Structures are given as structure tokens and as C-alpha cells.
Chain A
Amino acid sequence: MTRVMALMSDAWGGYGGIQQFNRDFCDALAERAVTVLVRRGPNVTHGNRTQVRPRFGKAGYALRVYREAKGLQDDSIIFCGHLRLLPLAILARKISGRPVWLQLHGIEAWPIPSRLVRRLVIQCDLVTAVSRYTRRRFLRWANIPPERVKVLPNSPRDIFTPGSADAHVLGALGLAADQFLLSVARLDRTESNKGLEMLLHAYADIHARHPEVRLVIAGDGNARADIQALAGRLSLQDSVVLPGRVTDQELVSLYRGARLFAMPSVKEGFGIVFLEALACGCPVLGFDRDGSVDPLRDGAGGLLSSPKSLAGDIAAVLEGEVVVSPDGSWFTRDKFFRHVAALLQDPHLQAGH
């Protein structure tokens, strides 16, 4: 039976987009036995998927990778869940002679890395990038034949489905269905690039004409106070709602009730939140310059905007001049599962060494 050795920073027990992707990926491997070596998280077993966190820090982790690699069989593959772990994945490849599959999640693959990483990456047998933009940025420095680099998009979890919003959830936040704009982000100062300030300024521009439409920015972090302060300076404190971190159930209701989901990010690897919104039947708006164009399918699945036209574009949606019909059928969990299964049969992984 084929085995997969997966090197990941964390999977089960972690919170965030990459961790979610890692769990989804392991689920998609279906029948295959998977050993996941993580740096953080519990030792757990889900069916034939075993998550192991080696003790004694980096050295202990490296030692465990070495031992596991020694035991790899002829039909196994090595999955490297983060560029940071690539040196160990290539080490395992050297020991076992088994192919390495590297996953790129987004911005970690954009800047030009050290010479060591550039030399190692050439040895990857298959690379999957979350978006076309991330793939292109990677290929700018990675001297690897382009056909070995594929695009494996994210997919939203099953809980995101269309329907009507829970009135209690909206009521508790003082919202009415179809009367608010929504954005979802981790409000970290390090992620100031999410363009929320741009969104606030654009919202200020249209607020006079549409005073009934409120702006909800869900998510928590150390930048929340900054956003609050900016809303105050723009005299929008009564119209901007910052509910903090919300539960999955609340998030679904927010997506279902929002008039428009907007994430004007300028450094987005992909933007799984777009897919969550689309899966809940909410129209989406994003910028036209990075990974966001993928979930928005170059404008076929959502409205592509730019920093200059942001306020005008949002107003056009509110005033019905532009109709953005959400279609969640392009990126589904089912498609993701089938895509991973097909990639396992990709000739680049079958070539052997």
C-alpha cells in the first residue's frame, strides 16, 4: 500500500489557512497511509492518517525525518507542506530515492530565497502552487522546468453552504440582511497589507450616499484597535462593526447576509475567504493584481477592482449598476479531492530516480 510521508509545520490542532489546507490535503489522500510529521500540535490518529510531533525541537524533528525516510517503500512519496521544510524533504529524497512534492501556499514563495533553497528546489519532482500568481512569482527564481509546477487551488470547508442568515446572529450585531458589506481578515499588524485601510477610506466615500449600509470586518488581532481608531477619525464609528473573532456558525450567517464580500488585498496568495463567501452565495470583490484573481476567475466569478476604482466599484454594486452573481460550483471540496488523487498519478511523480 502506498505511503505518504508528509512534512508540515502543523495540521491537526492548528488554526489558520495553511493548517486547514494541510488537513484537507491529508483527507484527500483517501486510502493511502499518511504519516504527518509536524513541529506543533498533538500526536493523533485519524483512520490511517497519523500525526506525529517529534520531541527535542528541530534536531529531534530532523532525526525523525531521517528515520522515517530510511523506512520508505518503493511506492511512497514525500510531501513537503512548507518551503521552510524543503531541506529536510530533499534530505529524505536523497536517503530514500522517493519523489518530493512541494506545496506553495502563497507569499512564502514570492521573495527570492537563499542560494541553498534555490539549489534544493530544482530537485523537487512536483510543485503545486495555490494560485497562478504564486506559481509565476515562484518561477521567477526557481530554475525548474515550468511543467513541473502545477496549480492546486484551495477549497472551502463543507460548512459553507448557501441559505438564509440566522437572524439572531445578525440581530446580536445590530445588522440587517443585505444591509452590510463584509470583510474577513486576521487583523495582525504584520498583515497590514490586507488593504483594510483602503477599504475603510472607500467606505467613507460611499457612506454619505448609502448611510444605511454598514461595514463589518470580522477577525481579531493586534491591529483591531488601529482599525477602530481609523474608523473614528473618519467619523464612521457607528457604521463600522468589528465583532472580533467569530465562530464558524456566525461566519456562515455573515457571509449569507452580506450584500457584498470585499477583500481588497494587495498581497494575497489565493484568498480562501473568497471561496467561503461564494459557497455561501455571497457576491465577492477583490483586487486584480495577485492571487485573488484565481478565486474570482479573472472576473467571471467576482468583481475585479483596483485601488483607484474601489469606492466606485462598491457603489456600483450597491446601486445595482453592476450585478455580480456568486457561483460556488467552481471550487468545491469534491474537485479538490479528485485533483489531489489525479496529481498522485502525475508522471512527474512516477518517474522515479
Chain B
Amino acid sequence: MCGINGIFSYHYASRPVDVDELRRTRDAMYSRGPDGAGEWHSRDHRVSLAHRRLKIIDLSDAAKQPMQSGCGRFVVSLSGEIFNYAVLRRELEGRGYPFRTESDTEVLLAMFAEFGTRMFGRLRGMYAFAIWDRQERRLLLARDPFGIKPLYLANDGWTLRFASQVQALRAGGAVSDQSEPAAAAGFFLFGFVPEPFTQWQEIRSLSPGCYTWVDALGPGPETSHFDWPAMAQIASGTRAPGEIAEAVRDSVTAHSVGDVPVGLLYSGGIDSSALSQLGGQAAQRIHVHFQGLPRPAFDNADVHVRTVTVEEFEADLPLIISAMDVPSIDGVNCWFAAKACREMGLKSAIIGVGGDELWAGYPAFRDVPGWHRRLGWMRWLPGMGRLAGWGLAGLSRVLGLHSKLEGVPRLCGTQSGSYVLRRALHLPWRLGSIIERDWAALGMERLDLGRRLQQMVPASWRGKPAAVFALESRVYLSGQLLRTADWAGFAHGVEFRMPYLDPALWRQCLGHAMAVQHRHHGAKSDLARAAGLAWQDGYRKQGFVTPFPAMPGRSYLERMRAWSLDIWNRAGNGDAPA
């Protein structure tokens, strides 16, 4: 639930918080939290927190935010849910904590008062929050392990501003309008703006799974509270179907808490069917069908099918573009799914996002290790790749071969290069023909993919197939899927819950997925079996299909390229003259 924001005038020379600015930012997030608004100001006007509320857990006014702890020392503004709040609450009550509300927010406050930052390992949920410590005069900002809930920071050197949305920070009026070249380069390279960048230079996201302290010197270094390799060690080795089923059921059950009904977005594919079978039986299933695309045949009739016509799609496209908090070529499907939920009166829905990352469903899980294994030797021949690339580029043009072929010798020498090639919309050295050449070069330098991707992979996974799990989760999932699911959902005041992005489930099943990563579709067949679904070897991914408008181009890649240019220009990201 909810949208959060705040201003901290941490530097001694900065001006006190401008309350009007705080409210402008907060109310620019109206659709994230139409059920109420709150604000809290420190007595010296140096720090303010604000909140827009979507009521999900404890619908009473006692649970409104920002909320102060019983002792009065901490103030919190929370976006998202702590799903295991009931368990934690019982434990804290055992330790003598009195509770005034039924909300998860109060449990978060008590957890922090009791455990400090050691609490993160105990939290099960999707969250982004700010906690102001009145005694130490410092602010804690944090995000959940996968980065499901967004948190953007704008630090000008005197004042720190943060919010759940990029556009809301700009709406406040005090954040620089300097655009970020890495955003343009990243968008045309991948089709989305990679974390931590946004289209504005001054606005960055807090990294997923990290927290940071802000004190009189400003934000400190980011600290990770989520340990990837440790997770895979706990889980090494394969799991029996029963164990997988139990782990998924546990997560779905945990993700179904709340005081409002929770729906389930149903594509008819393995991921959403398994969620429905394992724990999600009670949830109303919703399927979004785009006119003109094939419609899957459902065996049971209780799926609510919402058909989107071509006319509706075209009429809504401007709304979708304006809702895009950060530009992306994805999100249309999520946007209509959220619209369908809203029409049915649902504020909350379970979605299968993260299934391909956990169960190694994407082709990248096979292609990246394979390409790197066969072509890794190329990095020992400096210049060879480039030379061979030129040759292949010429050949591709003459023979009409795949336009990314020329990237093979230049990129496949390294694992991260292979990953870039797999996910690329355009090749890095071709960006200069889409956006201004110097801007593209500066953008690529700031993206610094070689170093950035290397750092995302835990040291013990580097060079191994396991690295793809980290790359998919920290590049594509966090930069593309989670950012779009967030803005698309909140355009309609709907939160998406993602049982596949649950640390407890990953601890159980990641080792299994790694053991069968080499198989076609990875662990998808095991998931199907665990859920009692029929599995055919000719399985094709269902997923949420996006109906691209009639775009020129023969291949899927060419249509995506045309679509990306259209999005970028419509979103008015001026600095990239075509």
C-alpha cells in the first residue's frame, strides 16, 4: 500500500522544510493512496515525513501514518506490507510491547526499537520505509530484498528528499531538471532505465535489499541486508515436488493476509496456475485478454476475463505514458490488469512476477553460460572481437542475418557481456545512431556496465552459471518488471503481491533451480509437477503478452525498437534527438 515521501534539511546551512513542497510531492502520489493523507514535522522544522494511504491492513484511522512508536522516539512512513506481522507481533507482545493498532506498521516500529537494523532478516514483505530517530537525529531509509517497492532519493548536498515516485519528487519543484545520459543509454540498450538511474540526474533509487542512514552529513554508504550466496548455500541440492509445493503454498498463504479481498492475475501459464493451485484457490482469478491475440482455453469457468479492445488500448495509451514513472517498453499489460482489478473493486492482487527469475525460466539462463563457455576465450585476443564484429556486421547486412550477430564476438568474451547481448534491444556501439553520439557515449560511460554488472554478482558466483540468477534479478527484474508493476498498479490504486519474490521461498528453492538450470525451461516443469499441472515437452511460455500497436518491422526485435522510440518521444524525454 501507499506512497511515502519526506524532506530532511540535514546541512546546517539549508533552509527549513518547505511544507508546501512536501505536500506537493505527497499529493502527486494521490493514486498510490487515495484513502487518506498524513504528515509529521519535527519541532525544529528540519525534517518532515508524509504519507498517502491505501487501506489494506487495519482499516481504522488509528493505523494512519506517519506513525510514532509507543516510546515516542521513532516515527515511520511505510509503503508496502510486512506479511508476517502477526507472527512478529505475538513475539513482541511476549517481550512486553504494548500495541495500539492492528497494523503492520506498528509492528515494524516495535521490531526496529527491539532489533535495530538486525530486524531485516526477520521481515517478510515488500516494503520501502523511512524511520526518523528523534534521539539520534538520523533517518533510516530501506527497501525490501528484491526492490518490489520503490524508493527514490534526491540529494542536492544540503537537503535530502525522498519519495515513492520519481515524478512526485519533480512535482515538489525543488529537484534539478538536469537529465541523466545513463537513462537514455540504458533505455535504448535494454528497453528500460537500469537501477539506480532515473531520467533525472539528481534522482536515484536506493538499491534493492539495502538500507542507508542519513545524518547531519547527509546519506551514508548503502548497506546490503540481503545475502545472496548464503541463501543458495542453505538451499543447495534438489527438492522433491512435495517440498516445492509446500514452499510455494507457504509463500502464497503469507501473501494473502490483509483486511481486503486479494485477487490473482491469471495468464494460464505455469507460474500463475501454480500460484492458483498452491494456496491461491480462494482468490478471484482475473485474466486480461487483448483483442486479436489468441485466448487460452481455461478448463474452469470461474476466471474473470477482461477483454481489451484495440480502441480501448489506443484511447488509454496516453494515460499509460503519463503514468510511466520511469520510461519502459513494458507495463501495458500490468496497467490493464490493474484497471481490471479496480473495476472489480480489488485493491490488491497476487501476480506471478519473479517466477522466471526463481525457476530459471528465461532462455538467458541457458544462453548466457553457453555463449560464455564457447566464446570466453575471445577476451584473450584484444581487438579480435571488434574485427570479427565488423566482418559479421557487413555480412549480416548483405545476407539479412540477425542484427545482434555482430555483437557475439565483441560481447561474449565475458559473462556480463553475454548477458548484455541476450537482453539488448540495441547494441551498445549502435546507440549513437539513435540518440546524440556524445550523449550516448557519456551515458554508456556512466552506466559502466562492465563494472556495475560484475559488482551485482556475488564473488562466489562469478564466471559460473549461477551468476545469471543475480543478473536477472538485479538488472531485468528490478529495472524493468518491478518498476513497471509498481507504477502500472498504482495508476489504479492497486498493489501487486509477488509470492515468488519471497526470501523464504528462495532459500528453499534456489538451490534446486540452480541444479536444474541447464534444462530447457529450467525448473518450470518441477513447479508444474509440484502444483499437479499437466506438463508437455512442447511447452511455450504464456506470460503476460503486451499487444504492441501496429509497429513497422518484420521481427519482434524490430517492432520493439520502433515501440521504444515511440515511448521515449511520447514521454517527452527531450534530450535524445533522434
Contact = CB atoms under 8 A, between A and B. Distances in A.
Interface in A294-353: 294, 297-298, 300, 330-331, 335, 339, 342-343, 346-348, 351
A139 B179 CA distance: 12
B156 to A, nearest CB: 5
Interface stretch (B218-226, B348-356, B536-544, B547-555): B218-226
A147 B11 contact: no
B240 interface: no
A143 B178 contact: no
A129 interface: yes
Contacts of B157: 129, 131-132, 135-136, 149-151
A147 B218 contact: yes
Contacts of B546: none
Contacts of B221: 145, 147-148, 347-348, 351
B13 A331 contact: yes
Given A143-B445, A143-B448, A330-B12, A136 B217 contact: no
B155 A136 contact: no
Contacts of A141: 442
B202 interface: yes
A146 B204 contact: yes
B143 to A, nearest CB: 15
B201 interface: yes
B13 A342 contact: no
B221 to A, nearest CB: 6
A67 interface: no
A233 to B, nearest CB: 39
Given A135-B157, A147-B219, A149-B157, A300 B15 contact: yes
A151 B446 contact: no
Contacts of A335: 12
Contacts of B176: 136
Nearest to A335: B12
Interface string A230-269: 0000000000000000000000000000000000000000
Contacts of B178: 136, 140
A343 B13 contact: no
A118 B178 CA distance: 19
Contacts of A343: 217
Contacts of A132: 156-158
Nearest to B448: A143
Contacts of A151: 11, 157-158
Given A136-B178, A139-B201, A140-B178, A147 B220 contact: yes
Contacts of A135: 156-157
A153 interface: yes
B15 A342 contact: no
Tell me the interface secondary structure of chain A in the complex: helix
- Indicate the member of B202, B212, B216, B217 with the most A CB atoms within 10 Å: B217
Contacts of A342: 216-217
Contacts of B158: 132, 151, 294
A147 B220 CA distance: 6
A147 B157 CA distance: 9
Interface residues of A, number: 32
Nearest to B215: A342
B44 to A, nearest CB: 15
A150 B201 contact: no
A125 to B, nearest CB: 10
Interface string A143-170: 1011111110100000000000000000
Nearest to B154: A146
B262 to A, nearest CB: 37
- Indicate the member of B201, B221, B222, B448 with the most A CB atoms within 10 Å: B221
Nearest to A299: B15
A226 to B, nearest CB: 34
A146 B13 contact: no
A147 B448 contact: no
Contacts of B222: 145, 147
Interface string B182-203: 0000000000000000000110
Contacts of A139: 201
B217 A146 contact: no
Contact of A150 (B204, B212, B218, B445): B218
Contacts of B11: 151
A300 B9 CA distance: 14
Given A118-B445, A140-B201, A143-B448, A339 B155 contact: no
Nearest to B452: A143
B212 A147 contact: yes
Contacts of A153: 13
Nearest to A348: B221
Contact of B12 (A298, A339, A346): A339
A346 B156 CA distance: 18
Nearest to A343: B217
A297 B201 contact: no
A136 B202 CA distance: 8
B220 to A, nearest CB: 5
Nearest to A139: B201
A342 B220 CA distance: 13
- Indicate the member of B12, B157, B219, B222 with the most A CB atoms within 10 Å: B157
A153 B201 CA distance: 22
A294 B13 contact: yes
A143 B15 contact: no
A150 B13 contact: no
A343 B156 CA distance: 17
A161 B176 CA distance: 35
A188 B526 CA distance: 77
Interface string B427-446: 00000000000000010011
Interface in B397-452: 442, 445-446, 448
Nearest to B181: A140
Interface in B6-22: 11-13, 15
Given A294-B13, A330-B13, A339-B12, A143 B217 contact: no
25 contacts: A118-B445, A131-B157, A132-B157, A135-B156, A135-B157, A136-B156, A136-B157, A136-B176, A136-B178, A139-B201, A143-B448, A146-B155, A146-B202, A147-B155, A147-B219, A147-B220, A150-B217, A151-B157, A151-B158, A297-B13, A300-B15, A331-B13, A335-B12, A343-B217, A347-B220
3 closest A-B pairs by beta carbon, nearest first, are A151-B157, A147-B219, A132-B157
